[in-house]
Amino acid sequence: MDRLSIALILALAAASVSAAARPKCVLTGFWINDLGSNMTINSVNKKGEFSGLYHTAVSATKDEIKVSPLQGSQHRKNEQNQPTFGFTVNWSFSDSTTVFTGQCFVDEDGKEILRTTWLLRQEVDKLKDDWKATSIGSDVFTRFQ
């Protein structure tokens, strides 16, 4: 067996060991949702706080989509293994803000699933338009391995 094959096998083994060792529903990592949007969540601190980056696949605007920062926290009370969480995306290419709230579930195959509900707030010019400025929806995220 050549060196490249050995290196590849070792890398795959290391990746599967680290995935198996990772505690379930700590949100750190790469996620993709039903729209094809993806997000990267950095390390979660002791208080459950995290930051990350969101790359949406869709937009309500015509502006060029850009990767945008997110800030959030997940519940750490009792170290429950299916915690609730929330995060805010401050869109870098539009005037809008989205807040997501949800819960991480572990299904019967051990797969982590984030069930979320979001509110997308768009900026409007005048108070009279406030009624149409907020939309609501839901997204399901799975880990992008």
Tokens representing 30 are 């790469």
State in angstroms the smallest separation of the CB of 110 from ligand BTN.
25
Q: What angle do CA 38, 124, 72 make, to 5 degrees?
A: 35
User: Applying CB under 6 A, does 116 fall inside the site for ligand BTN?
Assistant: no
**Interface region with ligand BTN, contact rule CB under 6 A, candidates 12-20, 51-59, 78-86, 103-111:** 51-59
CB 51 within 8 A of CB 74: no
Smallest gap from residue 60 Cβ to ligand BTN (A): 4
Positions in 14-43 near ligand BTN (CB under 6 A): 33, 35, 37
| 94: contact with ligand BTN by CB under 6 A | yes
- Whose tokens are 């850009």? That residue is 66
Q: Which stretch binds ligand BTN (CB under 6 A): 7-15, 17-25, 58-66, 78-86?
A: 58-66
* Beta bridge partner(s), residue 38: 32, 55
Backbone angles phi and psi of 44, in degrees to 5 = -95, 125
| Tokens encoding 14 | 């290391």
Indicate if the alpha-carbon torsion angle 48, 71, 36, 33 is positive or negative.
Answer: positive
* Window contacting ligand BTN (CB under 6 A); options: 1-9, 18-26, 54-62, 78-86: 54-62
Kindly list the residues in this chain that would bind ligand BTN in the complex (CB under 6 A): 33, 35, 37, 56, 58-61, 91, 94, 96, 98, 118, 120, 137, 139
